[in-house]
């Protein structure tokens, strides 16, 4: 006779036979056989078995569960026993998730981020702050829940064991990745971010301020970064409005000065109206200026209060002043924009938003002014000369627009190289590469490929073939495959490798589809800005309570990968940087994956694409697991990270030219996004011609998106920006060392313009 | 980023090292995870000869 039992936490509680019967009944019902009477019999038998086993000692939970299993089997209910085993396994999984969740929260709460790798999973979050920690606790909780309840057992196993990586898994049930925000569409007619309404902006200062607000608002509706595909075209409109205002108010001021009168607003307005009647638009900088100015001057001279020459002279100077002030206001607006995006921790209170801006192709005078000034602001850096982290600048390179001498924006392309050689931004997206050029329609900036800074690219549109544009679209979710593991497991058998790759592609495609189903069932009210304000393509056609399914199909589902180099080494002994034969093998693998994505797109009407994954947390996750499984295989698992996507390994010596040639063909295959890097030393980067030559090499080789890395160090004490080894070349201190008061005073004399270490007098 | 107010002469103030990580820049490598730190350490420069 059993009187009490021992629970898992050690507590002793009264034995309750009804609970055993209920559990047995559930298992019987799930297997579709048996009833309450049978369940009661099983419960009786369990008690007898336990009494025989334990005597007067109270049995433990695990013993009771074992007995239930055995008695179900003995009663001939194998299926019910199986159900009971599954139930136990599932409970165990959830219990273990809870325990590891508590352990994770314990680490987040009490361990310094500098010694906790988990807390540095995303370098944009400061894991030592209150909001940063709260964010990480939420992440840990959501991940535990999603793994236990939202994945199929097969998907959960693949994710848990490192066959695949489901990115932004904490947001699995909540939202989508990113969007290219068309600022012009958003601004026209005004918009709302919550309380109150923002009227359509009327000058460059508000255009830039609202651009930052749009990015910040949208990033709280999504888990990824936010891009602007048309920064120059959008800011140009603000520049135009500012110039028109300054032209008319400047005219009024000048008239009042010369005529010594109090209010010449009417005359100034009449003059501008006359100009507008001739050109059909507001006063512009650099377009139809002579006709406009002549018409305005005539109105003034016709009053008889000024001579023709005096009126023309006045208008000329008004224009020059308006241009100067527009330029200055634009610079300040761009400076404010960059500062804002680097300082406002508006992403869940703990991160600055991941932001990217694309520009370079607007050849209007206003667009050119905006481009020059955003570059100038990046060039100048932040308040103490620090290199801005955000936004990512992406310069769109296009022949006939800015690539060759004589192209209207060639000067801006050259300036961008100078800035990037100093500040690491802009990066470059190449519109002439065939896979980008196929979408390009002159006069339609929405067909210019724009990219997220991280590399996400959305252009093809199987769901809506008429909307193959960069604007108002983005990625929905992405999952990456551990390619090196498939290669290791194949043990040199190519056929086996491809078979397992196909199985993995199938699993990932299905998992992305399952996630899409969760995302698609959300409503407009779940995305108050992205959908509620019409930022996402066609969402303006939906009401607040509508499901977002149909418009979400504009987005992309991306299958990513890591470690092509290690994969090739595991399969064939070499990577694609070493031999041309391996390059062919590499292209076959990646081409095979792309084919799968294209096929799946056609079958489902969803935009499946192949992504050269931007792996941050992932770079170490897979290889740590694979080292445990397979040990350190030379060239495969013997480092702390797998090589990013299709890159030539970072440690492999190769010339910039060769690296670009080797990586370019993969850009054509990875239609969901790609990037190639070239690493230059600090001195080369100071050589702008060499820098530009590398960019041109990328363009000519058919790279889609590329950037050039070089060390940018700064000593906050003396303000030196450049390459710093162990010792700062300007002040001679080592990291963490103090300088004497005398030395600081001497430095201040030597570098009066250097941004001084704050606190120095 | 830096504890600039801790000591006005620069004691315990490190250098800022801006590097690119998955397309983004990061202002201090303190916040990088171990794998990315190792990758950054291993990066070799690419020469400009053909």
The model's pLDDT over A621-636, given as tens digits with 9 standing for 90+, comes to 999 999 999 999 999 9
- The H or E element that residue A481 is part of is strand A475-482
- Maximum mean pLDDT: which of A283-297, A328-342, A679-693, A730-744: A328-342
* Mutation choice for A interface testing from B33, B42, B49 by most A CBs within 10 A: B33
Of A386, A619, A657, which is closest to B16 when you measure between CB atoms?
A386
The whole-chain average pLDDT of chain A stands at 92
Rounded Cα distance between A747 and A228, Å, is: 41
Domain membership of residue B2 (yes or no) is no
Above 90 in pLDDT, residue A8? no
Express each pLDDT in A46-76 by its tens digit.
999 999 988 888 999 989 999 999 999 998 8
Enclosing domain of residue B33 = 15-42
Contact A657 B11 (CB under 8 A): no
- The H or E element that residue A165 is part of is strand A164-166
Mean pLDDT to the nearest integer, A264-280? 96
From the CA of B24, how many Å to the nearest CA of chain A?
A: 6
Above 60 in pLDDT, residue B4? no
Determine the residue of chain A that is closest to B15 in CA distance: A715
Of B11, B26, B44, which is closest to A653 when you measure between CB atoms?
B44
* Mutation choice for B interface testing from A641, A647, A663, A744 by most B CBs within 10 A: A641
Task: Give the model's pLDDT for residue A756.
Answer: 53
**Chain A residues inside the 8 Å CB shell of B23:** 392, 427, 452-455, 614, 675, 707
Domain spans in chain A, listed from the N-terminal domain onward: 1-128, 713-750
Task: Give the model's pLDDT for residue B29.
Answer: 65
Rounded Cα distance between A45 and A63, Å, is: 14
Closest to A24 measured CA to CA, from A37, A7, A43? A43
More confident residue, A362 or A92: A362
Mean pLDDT to the nearest integer, A647-669? 97
Express each pLDDT in A549-602 by its tens digit.
999 999 999 999 999 999 999 999 999 999 999 999 999 999 999 999 999 999
CA A335, distance to chain mean position in Å, is 22
Which of these ranges, A162-166, A399-403, A451-455, B22-26, has the smallest mean pLDDT?
B22-26
Contact A724 B5 (CB under 8 A): no
Q: How confident is the model at residue B28 (pLDDT cuts 50, 70, 90)?
A: low
Rounded Cα distance between A362 and A184, Å, is: 14
Residues of chain A by 3-state class (helix, strand, coil), percent to 5: 55, 10, 35
Contact A425 B26 (CB under 8 A): no
From the CA of B6, how many Å to the nearest CA of chain A?
A: 9
Above 70 in pLDDT, residue A703? yes
Domain membership of residue B3 (yes or no) is no
Domain membership of residue B10 (yes or no) is no
Which of these ranges, A31-40, A98-107, A560-569, has the smallest mean pLDDT?
A98-107
Is-contact A228 A357, C-beta < 8 A?
yes
Strand, coil or helix: A158: helix
Domain membership of residue B32 (yes or no) is yes
Task: Give the model's pLDDT for residue A91.
Answer: 82
Closest to A515 measured CA to CA, from A599, A596, A606? A606
Above 80 in pLDDT, residue A128? no
**Chain B residues inside the 8 Å CB shell of A761:** 8
Express each pLDDT in A164-189 by its tens digit.
999 999 999 999 999 999 999 999 99
Is-contact A390 A219, C-beta < 8 A?
no
Q: What is the DSSP letter of A173?
A: T
Task: Give the model's pLDDT for residue B5.
Answer: 42
Closest to A38 measured CA to CA, from A61, A63, A65, A68? A68
Task: Give the model's pLDDT for residue B50.
Answer: 67
At residue A650's C-alpha, the angle toward residues A644 and A655, to 5°, is 125
Number of A–B residue contacts, CB under 8 Å? 181
**Percentage of chain A lying above the pLDDT 70 cut:** 98
Domain membership of residue B33 (yes or no) is yes
Q: How confident is the model at residue A755 (pLDDT cuts 50, 70, 90)?
A: low
Q: How many domains is chain B partitioned into structurally?
A: 1
* Mutation choice for A interface testing from B7, B21, B38, B46 by most A CBs within 10 A: B46
From the CA of B21, how many Å to the nearest CA of chain A?
A: 7
Above 50 in pLDDT, residue B6? no
Determine the residue of chain A that is closest to B34 in CA distance: A117
Q: How confident is the model at residue B20 (pLDDT cuts 50, 70, 90)?
A: confident
Contact B10 A757 (CB under 8 A): yes
3-state DSSP of A390-452? CCEEEEEECCCCCCCCCCCCHHHHHHHHHHHHHHCCCEEEECCCHHHHCCCCCCCHHHCCCCC
Contact A455 B23 (CB under 8 A): yes
What do you get for the CA distance between the two ends of chain B, in Å? 40
Domain membership of residue B31 (yes or no) is yes
Rounded Cα distance between A427 and A416, Å, is: 9
Express each pLDDT in A731-749 by its tens digit.
999 998 888 888 888 888 8
Express each pLDDT in A502-518 by its tens digit.
999 999 999 999 999 99
Which residues, including other chains, have CB under 8 Å from residue A751's CB and lie 6 or more apart?
A: A718, A719, A730
Domain membership of residue B28 (yes or no) is yes
């Amino acid at each position: 006779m059993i009187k009490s039992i021992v629970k898992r936490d050690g507590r002793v509680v009264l034995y309750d036979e009804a609970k055993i019967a209920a559990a047995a009944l559930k298992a019987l019902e799930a297997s579709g056989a048996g009833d309450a009477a049978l369940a009661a019999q099983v419960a009786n038998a369990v008690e007898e078995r336990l009494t025989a086993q334990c005597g007067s000692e109270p049995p433990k939970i695990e013993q009771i569960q074992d007995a239930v299993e055995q008695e179900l089997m003995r009663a001939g209910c194998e299926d019910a026993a199986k159900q009971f085993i599954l139930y136990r396994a599932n409970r165990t999984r959830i219990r273990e998730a809870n325990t590891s969740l508590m352990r994770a929260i314990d680490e987040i709460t009490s361990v310094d981020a500098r010694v906790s790798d988990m807390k540095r999973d995303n370098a944009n979050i400061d894991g030592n702050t209150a909001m940063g920690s709260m964010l990480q606790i939420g992440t840990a909780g959501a991940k535990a829940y999603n793994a236990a309840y939202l994945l199929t057992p097969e998907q959960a196993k693949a994710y848990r064991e490192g066959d695949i990586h489901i990115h932004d898994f904490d947001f699995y049930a909540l939202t989508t990745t990113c969007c290219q925000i068309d600022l012009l569409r958003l601004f026209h007619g005004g918009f709302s971010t919550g309380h109150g309404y923002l009227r359509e902006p009327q000058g460059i200062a508000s255009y830039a301020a609202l651009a930052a607000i749009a990015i910040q608002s949208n990033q709280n509706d999504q888990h990824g970064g936010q891009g602007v595909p048309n920064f120059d075209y959008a800011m140009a409109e603000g520049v135009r409005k500012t110039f028109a205002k300054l032209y008319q108010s400047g005219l009024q001021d000048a008239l009042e000065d010369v005529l010594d009168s109090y209010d010449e607003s009417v005359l100034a307005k009449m003059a501008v109206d006359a100009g507008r009647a001739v050109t059909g638009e507001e006063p512009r900088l650099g377009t139809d200026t002579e006709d406009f100015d002549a018409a305005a001057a005539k109105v003034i001279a016709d009053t008889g209060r000024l001579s023709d020459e005096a009126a023309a002279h006045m208008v000329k100077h008004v224009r020059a002043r308006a241009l100067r002030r527009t330029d200055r206001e634009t610079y300040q607006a761009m400076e404010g924009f960059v500062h804002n995006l680097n300082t406002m921790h508006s992403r869940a209170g703990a991160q600055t938003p991941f932001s990217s801006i694309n520009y370079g192709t607007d050849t209007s005078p206003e667009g050119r002014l905006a481009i020059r000034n955003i570059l100038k602001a990046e060039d100048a850096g932040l308040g103490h000369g620090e290199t801005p982290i955000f936004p990512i600048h992406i310069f769109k390179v296009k022949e006939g627009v800015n690539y060759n001498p004589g192209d209207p924006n060639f000067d801006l392309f050259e300036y961008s190289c100078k800035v990037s050689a100093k500040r690491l931004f802009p990066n470059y997206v190449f519109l002439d590469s065939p896979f980008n050029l196929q979408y390009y329609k002159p006069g339609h900036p929405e067909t210019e490929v724009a990219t997220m800074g991280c590399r996400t690219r959305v252009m093809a549109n199987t769901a809506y073939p008429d909307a193959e544009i960069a604007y108002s679209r983005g990625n929905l979710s992405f999952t990456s495959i551990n390619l090196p593991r498939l290669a290791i497991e194949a043990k040199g058998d190519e056929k086996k490798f491809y078979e397992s790759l196909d199985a993995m592609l199938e699993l990932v495609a299905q998992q992305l589809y399952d996630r899409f189903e969760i995302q698609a069932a959300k409503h407009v009210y779940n995305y108050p800005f992205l959908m509620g304000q019409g930022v996402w393509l066609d969402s303006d056609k939906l009401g607040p309570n509508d499901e977002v399914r149909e418009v979400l199909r504009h987005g992309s589902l991306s299958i990513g990968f890591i470690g092509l180099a290690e994969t090739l080494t595991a399969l064939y002994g070499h990577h694609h940087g070493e031999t041309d034969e391996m390059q062919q093998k590499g292209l076959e693998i990646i081409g095979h994956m792309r084919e799968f994505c294209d096929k799946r797109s056609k079958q489902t009407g969803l935009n499946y694409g192949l992504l050269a994954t931007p792996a941050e947390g992932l770079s170490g996750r897979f290889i740590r697991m694979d080292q445990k499984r397979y040990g350190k295989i030379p060239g495969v698992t013997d480092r702390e990270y797998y090589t990013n996507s299709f890159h030539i390994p970072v440690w492999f010596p190769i010339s910039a030219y060769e690296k670009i040639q080797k990586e370019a063909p993969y850009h054509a295959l990875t239609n969901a996004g790609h990037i190639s890097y070239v690493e230059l030393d600090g001195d080369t980067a100071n050589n702008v011609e060499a820098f530009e030559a590398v960019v041109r090499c990328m363009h000519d080789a058919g790279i889609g998106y590329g950037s050039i890395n070089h060390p940018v160090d700064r000593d906050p004490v003396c303000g030196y920006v450049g390459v710093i080894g162990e010792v700062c070349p300007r002040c001679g201190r080592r990291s963490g060392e103090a300088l004497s008061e005398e030395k600081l005073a001497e430095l201040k004399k030597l570098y009066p313009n250097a941004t001084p270490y704050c606190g120095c007098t | 980023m830096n504890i600039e107010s801790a000591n006005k002469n620069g004691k315990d103030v490190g250098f800022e090292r801006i590097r690119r990580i998955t397309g983004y820049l990061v202002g201090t490598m303190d916040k990088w995870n171990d794998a990315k730190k190792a990758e950054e350490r291993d990066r070799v420069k690419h020469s400009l000869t053909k």
